[in-house]
Chains A and B, each alone.
Chain A
């Protein structure tokens, strides 16, 4: 991603010079990003943030242009302005999608996790308990695009008792990080590509994630141009397994039947060696895309 605003360019340079892996990663992402076209870059650079700086601008642009305020907002993610990242509308509709939602914000509204867990064990789930959870999820503001993956690629992980811990690692969900002794709560949602299309008002409701959708996340690494999908950074640098394809889709209004399973994460979790994880992922991406020059490794240039 090439900025014309010199202050943004300077900030990318400064981030890439940092010793902290988390900050270096954010700078690298801007430098690596190939899926943000000129129109969208210009749109971003025209955006006036309330707070100064590149990172504030990216975050506020996300809330304003990507997520929006209203439910009927069309994210810039799915507009013509983002043509470089839009995915084909020819994706096979009969395949399942998996998404993990943290639900502590909804539980905050007077819901009980244990009751929801018990209700989800029933077939079908007890709607009297699950419906308030779904209502809460549907009341989030705006039209934030959803990060998701195909169920087929994580099916073996879903069959495990520790499916959530596995998904956290494989999908690069490093921001799900409970403090020591803290428990976070999650729900796994499942639905189909067809359902996304049926609720979409845009012609191409799927897109490759870019730095403008990932809110300065150090756990994201942009895919090369032409890859067709994003690829999640496996938090386990030592794991020898294929990267999971990730994508964005238009926000879905949930129903009770989309709720599959709930689970918790309690801290402390195994530490992530961020530089190693990113370098391992970059290695896989280079091989997969035949782009040996794509990106840059960071091990040795940041604090361990």
Chain B
């Protein structure tokens, strides 16, 4: 009794017997600091655990009990955090944080394997648990995974988390979704990627992580170089010529990526110059030949010509193309997995996929399926790539998986609310393929309200009203307003003229519209052609567009129903917020039903709160998206101003945007992010949002509170994004 190490050296702690008897109870006592473990009672739980278990064999019953206790305590916490009030939730989050530290130290095999295997389940728990840089179970969950990638059970691909680590690096900072503390986790994850037979170490992947961070977050020189030197310190290399060519390759790949985003204008990032200087590299990019001569790579990306050859023959039969595409993408995957350079893979997948569509009609479904597969491959490596998302939706549409395409469409709107084109694309799908013209109308009216200077939405709305819903008067009103709001857009006048003549027989009205067009743009060819036809008393082209032939929804056949639970909630939220008064109750009930079916989904909780179907008071109250929504729904500029002080980084900027909208105070603040950043990056997206909001405010009748909901959409766009890994 009372046997302790200090009193009887070599003695086994008696607490271990209590642990075997009641694993969960004793783990909770350990984590909460009151286990009877003299002399270790005041030690940190993880430190105490290390000493308690030191020297025990892997199959010792105490180790097995410890493993069981950790898993059981995780489940216990998971069951309680969601329903706890804010005060209790904070205490439970502290327990979770300490438990993660224990698991990280001891690495109980089955518990760790379970965290990897059931990633989505555990991520849903931790997603909304961050309080600050000190208490951030989400970050610690990822750190734990980073350190235990070699313990992930088969058949999980060993390097499957690489895209996650690269994303953490890119988004770790004031212009990103995460605090800078996540950079350590991202780089650690890259360092600890399991090595394949052909891999020596991961420093190239680590350098790609650093480059992504530097390009996206724009650190000062001293900070960048200190981070670089930390990496050098953990990869000591004797040969003086080891680092420079590797760094040269990484910088070149990053610059090429940025140049692609800027439509092949030469582009770089500030840290590139510092890094080259540090490596005694010549300033400016070296040529591919120079880099190849300087460095003997273990693996090279596939030659560009392989891709070009496929693109040249893209109209060949898919039967001939598909094996070549598969070989090319497999080679890109091997290269990306080995080096961390996923740019080639993503660009190629998107390019080839886009070029596969449009297609010969006899191969439509097969090509659509192939394009879908390429999109999903690209999204595995860059989950925020907007081109890949667009390709996925188009691929599903082409293969006839219309319900699936709609799901993807709602998810894209949810993730990228600042870009109106996704709404227009979804409206096309709804009206032309799914027969939901009324929903498309509602979506486009909402789009026009949020993006009043968006040209395509008004035109598309008018088309749907006239051609699908047989409401030419309403279409006329939309186009008339369009010519007032967007007087320099010639298409509105032309479309109005055709509508007036075709549906109303109003020749005078058509003439007037065309005359206005040609007064503003005398050389406009469409206006000139239409005017000539009118003068010659010839019919104008019908404004009615031919309908696409009805296609049976192939979603069930395709087996390709996207696993995007938040998309359905986005649609339900839209329905609830745009419902006519008699329909709102049913729409809100649908939101509640979806929440009941998926209570752990952060976006579901957010959407339910937004429509008043979920009370405040839980631990999610302090999650920025939830806090912003509450302040926005109150219409409180003061509350938003308080959020500006409370939340650092990009969240503070978002709150600033909301505050200025509601208070009407001064010019909207733009972040430092340039438009040449990856358009999927948080900073670039915020710049786009601010641009759209600023444009909307030019219209005097714009409803500022309506615009605040768009900002709220943006704030929530990061929820439930990282569910797959």
Q: Tell me which of B5, B10, B184, B229 has the highest count of chain A C-beta atoms within 10 A of its own C-beta.
A: B5
Q: A53, B34: Cβ atoms under 8 Å?
A: yes
A137 to chain B, nearest CB (A): 11
Q: B9, A268: Cβ atoms under 8 Å?
A: yes
B138 to chain A, nearest CB (A): 13
Residues 173-190 of A, flagged 1 when their CB comes within 8 A of B and 0 if not, give 011111111101000000
Q: A177, B134: Cβ atoms under 8 Å?
A: no
Given contacts A71-B134, A108-B147, contact A132 B184 (CB under 8 A): yes
Q: What is the bound-complex CA distance between A272 and B40, given in angstroms? A: 13
Q: A22, B38: Cβ atoms under 8 Å?
A: yes
A105 contacts across to B, CB distance below 8 A: 44, 46-47, 101, 105
For residue B135, CB closer than 8 A to chain A, the reply is yes
For residue B313, CB closer than 8 A to chain A, the reply is no
Q: A128, B233: Cβ atoms under 8 Å?
A: yes
Q: B5, A180: Cβ atoms under 8 Å?
A: yes
For residue A236, CB closer than 8 A to chain B, the reply is no
Q: A60, B32: Cβ atoms under 8 Å?
A: yes
Q: Tell me which of A72, A139, A179 has the highest count of chain B C-beta atoms within 10 A of its own C-beta.
A: A179
Q: A141, B94: Cβ atoms under 8 Å?
A: yes
Q: A176, B97: Cβ atoms under 8 Å?
A: no
Nearest B residue to A127 via CB reads B226
Residues 107-142 of A, flagged 1 when their CB comes within 8 A of B and 0 if not, give 011101001000000000011110110010001111
Number of interface residues of A (CB under 8 A): 61
Q: B34, A69: Cβ atoms under 8 Å?
A: no
The stretch that binds B, out of A82-90, A212-220, A238-246, A293-301, is: A212-220
For residue B192, CB closer than 8 A to chain A, the reply is yes
Nearest B residue to A60 via CB reads B32
Nearest B residue to A112 via CB reads B234
Residues 22-39 of B, flagged 1 when their CB comes within 8 A of A and 0 if not, give 000000110011101011
Q: A177, B133: Cβ atoms under 8 Å?
A: no
The stretch that binds A, out of B48-56, B366-374, B448-456, B653-661, is: B48-56
Q: What is the bound-complex CA distance between A115 and B229, given in angstroms? A: 13
Residues 140-164 of B, flagged 1 when their CB comes within 8 A of A and 0 if not, give 0001000100000000000000000
Nearest A residue to B54 via CB reads A179
A92 contacts across to B, CB distance below 8 A: none
B143 contacts across to A, CB distance below 8 A: 109
A46 to chain B, nearest CB (A): 13
Residues 56-70 of A, flagged 1 when their CB comes within 8 A of B and 0 if not, give 101110111001011
Given contacts A105-B101, A141-B97, A181-B55, contact A175 B134 (CB under 8 A): no
For residue B132, CB closer than 8 A to chain A, the reply is yes
B72 to chain A, nearest CB (A): 15
Q: B33, A62: Cβ atoms under 8 Å?
A: yes
Q: What is the bound-complex CA distance between A185 and B42, given in angstroms? A: 16
Nearest A residue to B231 via CB reads A128
Q: A177, B41: Cβ atoms under 8 Å?
A: no
Q: A69, B10: Cβ atoms under 8 Å?
A: no
Nearest B residue to A20 via CB reads B2
A64 contacts across to B, CB distance below 8 A: 90-91, 94
Q: A129, B230: Cβ atoms under 8 Å?
A: yes
Q: A108, B105: Cβ atoms under 8 Å?
A: yes
For residue A303, CB closer than 8 A to chain B, the reply is yes
For residue B191, CB closer than 8 A to chain A, the reply is yes
Q: B50, A63: Cβ atoms under 8 Å?
A: no
Q: What is the bound-complex CA distance between A111 and B28, given in angstroms? A: 28
Q: What is the bound-complex CA distance between A303 and B94, given in angstroms? A: 36
Nearest B residue to A267 via CB reads B5
A55 contacts across to B, CB distance below 8 A: 34
How many interface residues does chain B have, given as a range? 35 or more
Given contacts A129-B230, A179-B51, contact A141 B34 (CB under 8 A): no
Q: Tell me which of B48, B50, B93, B134 has the highest count of chain A C-beta atoms within 10 A of its own C-beta.
A: B134
Q: A272, B94: Cβ atoms under 8 Å?
A: no
For residue B104, CB closer than 8 A to chain A, the reply is yes
Q: Tell me which of B7, B9, B41 has the highest count of chain A C-beta atoms within 10 A of its own C-beta.
A: B41
In the complex, chain B residues 239-268 whose Cβ is within 8 Å of any chain A Cβ:
none
Q: What is the bound-complex CA distance between A274 and B694, given in angstroms? A: 71
Q: What is the bound-complex CA distance between A133 and B233, given in angstroms? A: 13
Which listed residue (A58, A69, A182, A216) contacts B94, Cβ 8 A? A69
Which listed residue (A72, A129, A177) contacts B39, Cβ 8 A? A177
Q: A108, B104: Cβ atoms under 8 Å?
A: yes
For residue A41, CB closer than 8 A to chain B, the reply is no
A9 contacts across to B, CB distance below 8 A: none
Q: A175, B43: Cβ atoms under 8 Å?
A: yes
B202 to chain A, nearest CB (A): 12
For residue A161, CB closer than 8 A to chain B, the reply is no
Q: What is the bound-complex CA distance between A180 and B47, given in angstroms? A: 15
Given contacts A109-B143, A182-B50, contact A70 B131 (CB under 8 A): yes
B470 to chain A, nearest CB (A): 59
Q: A139, B133: Cβ atoms under 8 Å?
A: yes
For residue A7, CB closer than 8 A to chain B, the reply is no
For residue A162, CB closer than 8 A to chain B, the reply is no
Given contacts A70-B135, A132-B230, A142-B134, contact A50 B6 (CB under 8 A): no
In the complex, chain A residues 162-201 whose Cβ is within 8 Å of any chain B Cβ:
174-182, 184
Q: A216, B32: Cβ atoms under 8 Å?
A: no
A304 to chain B, nearest CB (A): 9
Given contacts A110-B147, A269-B6, contact A51 B32 (CB under 8 A): yes
B188 contacts across to A, CB distance below 8 A: 109-110
Which listed residue (A19, A115, A126, A215) contacts B41, Cβ 8 A? A215
A122 to chain B, nearest CB (A): 12
Nearest A residue to B9 via CB reads A268
Q: A139, B34: Cβ atoms under 8 Å?
A: no
For residue A156, CB closer than 8 A to chain B, the reply is no
A201 to chain B, nearest CB (A): 15
For residue B1, CB closer than 8 A to chain A, the reply is yes
Q: B9, A180: Cβ atoms under 8 Å?
A: yes
Q: B43, A176: Cβ atoms under 8 Å?
A: yes
Residues 75-94 of B, flagged 1 when their CB comes within 8 A of A and 0 if not, give 00000000000000011011
Q: What is the bound-complex CA distance between A174 and B4, given in angstroms? A: 12
Nearest B residue to A144 via CB reads B134
Given contacts A142-B135, A268-B9, contact A175 B42 (CB under 8 A): yes
Given contacts A59-B32, A174-B39, A177-B39, contact A182 B134 (CB under 8 A): no
Q: What is the bound-complex CA distance between A69 and B134, given in angstroms? A: 8
Which listed residue (A59, A72, A184, A219) contacts B34, Cβ 8 A? A59
Nearest B residue to A174 via CB reads B39
For residue B232, CB closer than 8 A to chain A, the reply is yes
For residue B181, CB closer than 8 A to chain A, the reply is yes
A179 contacts across to B, CB distance below 8 A: 5, 51-52, 54-55
For residue A39, CB closer than 8 A to chain B, the reply is no
B7 contacts across to A, CB distance below 8 A: 271
B233 contacts across to A, CB distance below 8 A: 115, 126, 128-129
For residue A102, CB closer than 8 A to chain B, the reply is yes
Given contacts A141-B94, A218-B39, A271-B6, contact A58 B134 (CB under 8 A): no
Q: What is the bound-complex CA distance between A55 and B36, given in angstroms? A: 10
Given A104-B47, A108-B46, A271-B6, 10 more A-B residue pairs with CB atoms under 8 Å apart are A23-B38, A62-B33, A131-B230, A139-B133, A141-B134, A177-B5, A179-B5, A181-B55, A216-B42, A219-B42
List the 9 closest pairs (A to B, CB-CB), nearest first: A128-B229, A22-B38, A59-B33, A179-B54, A141-B135, A141-B134, A175-B42, A59-B34, A20-B2
Which residues of A approach B to under 8 Å, CB–CB? 19-20, 22-23, 50-51, 53, 55-56, 58-60, 62-64, 67, 69-72, 102, 104-105, 108-110, 112, 115, 126-129, 131-132, 135, 139-142, 174-182, 184, 214-219, 267-269, 271-272, 303
Q: Could you write out 13 A-B pairs with CB less than 8 Å apart?
A: A64-B90, A102-B43, A108-B46, A109-B143, A131-B230, A141-B94, A142-B135, A178-B51, A179-B54, A180-B55, A182-B51, A216-B41, A218-B38
Which residues of B approach A to under 8 Å, CB–CB? 1-2, 4-7, 9-10, 28-29, 32-34, 36, 38-44, 46-48, 50-52, 54-55, 90-91, 93-94, 97, 101, 104-105, 131-135, 143, 147, 181, 184, 188, 191-192, 226, 229-230, 232-234
